[in-house]
Structure formats: structure tokens, C-alpha cells
Structure 1
Amino acid sequence: MHARTVAASAAALLGTAALLLPLSPVRAVDGGARPLVIAHRGASAYAPENTLAAVDRAAALGIDWVENDVQRTKDGELVVLHDDSLQRTTDVEEVFPGRAPWKVRDFTAAEIARLDAGSWFDPAYAGARVPTLEQFVERVGRHRQKLLLEIKNPQLYPGIEQQTLKVLGNEGWLDRRHVKHRLIVQSFSADSVRTVHELKPAVRTGFLGTPPVADLPAYAAFTDQINPSHGSLSRGYVTAVHAFDGAHGKPLEVLTWTVNDAAAARRVAGFGVDGIITNAPDVVRDAVGG
């Protein structure tokens, strides 16, 4: 939680001067020499996002980490979907034409299970379904992969943090092995990340965003990662984040998103990020050797 060196934080605040810092060593969450490569919503460049098919494709590519998004249905089921509406990635308009704006929270789990979540991406994936969180983590576990789980729109779903942790616990994802090596929970909501940390302190957490360097000590009290958009990153900012110890007493990590081409991957790897979240994990892996 405390800065290891004043110089590191100061350099990040000096703008142009930060460019003179020596290249940060490329670190990784699991202690490797290169940044982790995380399949964004599964291998979503090649299969419909957040479906079991996208998990399978990531596994086929040899990708260990998978990212997903969690929302809640009308009857309280957790499902894996990025948008708070079903409109973009399912055929909900055809199946339920009179129920615009087709918000996830207005449909039961059984209704959502009827929807085709694959045809919008490619006819070859017709019939793919919106998975429940239980189904998703079972598939990730079957492949012996690891999970970066995003709690999406927590302001729409009071108590979703506790419910998510309950599902993870029921599925065997809160034992020591999982929380130490195979699970990270993140959100754009600092309050949500803080809630997860308070409910289950052993779980590693990430905050999605680019907080000012001056605010990093406050974030470090309840999170292990600061996970910004790659367009907002600089080498100085990554160095500044690494100068603080996070909630588990280790240097704050940086996972950046969403990087889909080799040049951008090499650029952020040069900044010393710990992981790269990407729709095309094979492209990024080949670019950075992750």
C-alpha cells in the first residue's frame, strides 16, 4: 500500500521526464518473464463473445486466462453477458419482439436460455447460448484455465458481489489454490471491488480504470491491480502503479485492455504491464512471447 520509492511516483508525474526512465522489466502476475495474455470474453475474435464456444477456442489456442462479464436476470440468476441489454448479441428481438429495450434484468434465466447467442457472430455458431456463471466456470475449469471475472453494472444489481462469490464458492473456486493462482475479480466500480475485498479478502481484485497517481494509495487498500485501457497508458504510469503495494502486500499489477494487434501489444509490453487483455490472444501471444 505504500510507495517503495518516492522517485518512481514522482517520475510518473513529470510527463516528458517519465520518458527518460529506464525500460521497466516485463513482469507477469504468475511470476513469468512476459505479460500474461488474457482472452477477452473468451477468444472473441474467433467465436461469439462470452459463450462456451469462446472459452473452448481460447483453450484450443493454448490460452490459460479467460475474461468474462457477469450480469443478473429478473429471477436472480447470474449470466455471462457484456451488455446490460440482450439486443446486440442474441436474437431477443425476434423471440420477444414486444419487450424492448430487452434488458437482462427484465428476463428470467429460462427466457434467456431460449436465445441464440451465436448467429449474430457467424452462422456456424447458431444455437450457442448465453451461459450461466455456473456453466461458464465449469467450462473454464474443465480446460484447467484461469478466470478474470468482471462484475458488470453492479449499480443495477444490488448484492451481486456476494452472489458472485457464493456461486464461485459453490463451484469450488474459492479454495486456496484458486484464489491464489486462478481467479481475479474486477470491476469499473471501486465500491464493487472494495465490497469483494471486504467479503472475501483472500480473493485478488482489479480496478478497471486509470486513477490519478495521487489516488493510488487509496485504491491499493482494497485492490491488487489497476487495469486501464491501453490508450491511456504510459511507461511512467505503469512504473508509478508498480511502486505501490496492493491489498495483499505485493506490488500493484497492471492488466491493460483491449489490445488486438501486434504493434500495440509490443508497445504496452515495453511499458512493463503484467498482462494484456485481448480478443485475439494468439496474435498478442506471438507478438510478446506471453
Structure 2
Amino acid sequence: MKWTLGVAVGALAWSLTTWAQADNSTEQLAVEPIKLPTFIDIAHRGASGYLPEHSQAATVMAYALGADYIEQDIQLSRDGKAVVLHDVQLDAISNVKEVFPERHRPDGSYYVVDFTLNHLKQLKLTSRKESDGQPRYPERFQNDQVEFKIQTLAESLNLIQELNRVRGEDTGVYIEVKAARWYRDQDYDPLAVVMNVLNKNGYSDKQQATPIYLQSFDPETLRRVKREFHCDFPLVQLIADNSWAETPVDYDALRTYAGMESLTSYADHVGLWLGHVLKGVKDGQPEWTDVLDNAKKVGLKVHVYTLRADQLPEGVESLKQLRGWLKEAGVEGVFSDFPDQK
């Protein structure tokens, strides 16, 4: 159960009333302290281990499974709408080749930004596929006869807020501004679009409709949140592997002590790839790299991505075991495709 203000006030009122109605005994009833979460579980693209990633169904399932936060990766449509998708291209997660076979670029790929929101809404989300059409995770949801649609950021926010209202919960959102530099080359500003949507849906420097994190692989995107938009949201600097070519940033350098220290001028947290955190397992125990100590020394809280029950590191017996090890190592939270496996 997640504590909300209403629950906390109710608990306090019950304790005080019980004490007042007690007999003349000098023993007073102790009021139990409120226990805030010490470790957070972030549903990676929703409950993506069970349903197509970033679909509305995956959002609802992640909520029902008790995720503390639900992630929204943001891409932009041709008409500048923020949509919840991980990839710049549509190829691996939709039936775009069937619906709009001629709408690809010279490289053969179908880019989200080349389609209006109306066109995107005509597509069907699918479980992630490889370039040859085979499923990346064969044991996951594969029935393409069931229709899942692309959702906008506003739709996702409204859905989570309404679920919070009817259930008396406080599940948060965890938004990533994707490919900011690439979009700027296409004459779009994804951060400005995201901040506008947030402002219209109850998020500003003075209020947050739900708990919120903003994350990006691009340091300049995060700096702009405070510098240009004057918002004090918790900011998470994501650290990639240099081979992914997310940005021109040297992420190897950022994982050093000096690199971590440089992040503290604008970020509150750092998002680390599991492959950069877990060195291996020896004699049944985890061995960690130096990056966790580096983050701890400079005061950055760590969120680790991505835990997958169907893609466990060598020597790890279960997702529950891996999550427990990370928690013991001082990590504050984890991204998981399976938010129920705790």
C-alpha cells in the first residue's frame, strides 16, 4: 500500500481518537511513524514484459501490478505532438510497413516524425521485433490480432492521474526526452513540446499532479529544464554505452568520479545501465564496478536500467535476486519490464 496524505491524516486521527477514549491508564498509545518507500520500482515502458511496450494496456497493467512510477519515452509526430514511443523509427514496434508501405526514408526505415498524429493513430502497436520480423522476446505477448494503439503523452498522464484519483494512490510518471539533438536537426524542440504538455496537465514549478522524474541522455536537455523553463523537477542524467551513439558525449568519462561530480551542477540522479554496474557474479555473490561508489561519493542517487526476467545476466538466478542485490548495494530504484517481480 502506498501512503498518501489522506491515508496519513486518517491514520493519525485514528491513533489520537483511540488514545482519547482509552481508560485512565498512564500508558499512551504510540503513533506508528509513516513509512515512506526506500526503494522505487519503475515500470519500463509500462509492463512491457507482458504487453506491447508503451501501449495503454501496458500502462494500466503496470499500474495494477504496483509500480511506483511508469515510464514514458517521448517521440514527436510531424505535427509536433508528443507521443509515447521509445524508438525514433516505427519499424520494430508497429505494423507501419503494412499500413503505409511507401512512407519510408531512403534508408528504408519509417520515422515517427514523418507521420501526423492522425496517421500514427491508424497504426497497431506490436511486441518488439528484430529486423527480420522475428520477435525479440518470443515468450512475450505475440497475438497481433489484438489491437494496441499509440498514446500521446497527454493521454498517458491523464490515464495515470485518473487511476490515482479513483484508487487513492500516488503512482508517478518518469518521462524521457528522446533523441533531442536528432530532433533539433529536424527543426523540432522535443523538450519545449514536453514541457508545454506537462504545464497543461498539472505539472509546473509550483505543483505536480503526480510524482515526476525527467530523464535524458543529453546533458543540455536537462540543463535547459531549469535554465529556460525554471522548473525544479527531479532530473536524471542517463548514462549510455558509447557504442550506442546516443549523443557525442563521452559516457565512459561520465562514469568516473570526476564525471559524476560534473553532473551534480544540474542533476539529482543518475540512470545507469545494468551492464555498467554489475561486473559479474562470483561464488553466488555480485561484483560491482566502481560506478556505484563514484555516484555515492558525489551524492547522486542511482536508478538502474533495465531488469528483464527473460534476459538475466550470467550467474543471476532470478529478477527478485537481482533487484535485492541492487537494493543492498545502495541503488535507489530500478527499471523493470516485469514490475511485479520483486
Asked whether the two chains share a fold, i.e. TM above 0.5, the reply is yes
**Inter-CA distance 105–124: structure 2 relative to 1 (3 Å threshold):** closer
**2:251 paired with 1:221:** no
- Residue in structure 2 matched with residue 196 of structure 1 by the alignment: 225
**Inter-CA distance 268–125: structure 2 relative to 1 (3 Å threshold):** farther
- Residue in structure 2 matched with residue 3 of structure 1 by the alignment: none
Within 2, Cα distance between the matches of 1:71 and 1:258? 20
Compute the displacement of 1:201 (Å): 3.4
Compute the displacement of 1:185 (Å): 0.5
**Inter-CA distance 125–45: structure 2 relative to 1 (3 Å threshold):** farther
- Residue in structure 1 matched with residue 215 of structure 2 by the alignment: 186
Within 2, Cα distance between the matches of 1:277 and 1:126? 26
Compute the displacement of 1:225 (Å): 0.7
Q: Structure 1 length as normaliser, TM-score?
A: 0.79
Within 1, Cα distance between the matches of 2:51 and 2:203? 25
Within 1, Cα distance between the matches of 2:65 and 2:42? 12
Amino acid at match of 2:267: T
What is the aligned counterpart of 1:163 among 173, 178, 193?
Answer: 193
Amino acid at match of 1:254: V
Compute the displacement of 1:118 (Å): 4.0
State the aligned residue count.
247
Whether the aligned pair in 2 keeps the contact of 1:227 and 1:254 (CA below 8 Å) is yes
Instruction: Give the secondary-structure state (helix, strand or coil) at the position aligned to 1:75.
Output: coil
**Deviations, residues 24-68 of structure 1 (Å, cap 9, x unaligned):** xxxxxx9533x2111000011011101111110011112221012
Whether the aligned pair in 1 keeps the contact of 2:303 and 2:332 (CA below 8 Å) is yes
* Higher RCO (CA-CA < 8 Å; seq separation 6+): 1
Within 2, Cα distance between the matches of 1:208 and 1:107? 28
**2:40 paired with 1:36:** yes
- Residue in structure 2 matched with residue 242 of structure 1 by the alignment: 296
Q: Higher helix fraction: Structure 1 or Structure 2?
A: 1
Compute the displacement of 1:152 (Å): 0.7
**2:75 paired with 1:71:** yes
- Residue in structure 2 matched with residue 23 of structure 1 by the alignment: none
What is the aligned counterpart of 1:172 among 180, 193, 202?
Answer: 202
Amino acid at match of 1:170: K
Instruction: Give the secondary-structure state (helix, strand or coil) at the position aligned to 1:157.
Output: helix
Amino acid at match of 1:73: S
**Deviations, residues 87-137 of structure 1 (Å, cap 9, x unaligned):** 111110000011222101111111001101147743277221110111111
Amino acid at match of 2:323: A
What is the aligned counterpart of 2:307 among 245, 248, 259?
Answer: 259
Amino acid at match of 1:231: G
Within 2, Cα distance between the matches of 1:154 and 1:65? 23
- State how 1:34-183 maps to structure 2 within 5 Å: 35-100=39-104, 101-118=109-126, 121-123=141-143, 126-144=146-164, 145-158=171-184, 159-174=189-204, 176-178=206-208, 182-183=211-212
Amino acid at match of 2:179: N
Q: Structure 2 length as normaliser, TM-score?
A: 0.68
Deviates more, 1:211-220 or 1:165-174: 211-220
Compute the displacement of 1:204 (Å): 1.1
Deviates more, 1:273-282 or 1:216-225: 216-225
The alignment yields a C-alpha RMSD, in angstroms, of 2.1
Q: Give 5+ residue unaligned stretches, structure 2.
A: 1-34, 129-140, 165-170, 240-250, 278-287, 309-318
Compute the displacement of 1:200 (Å): 3.0
Identity rate of aligned residues, in percent?
Answer: 27
Compute the displacement of 1:241 (Å): 1.2
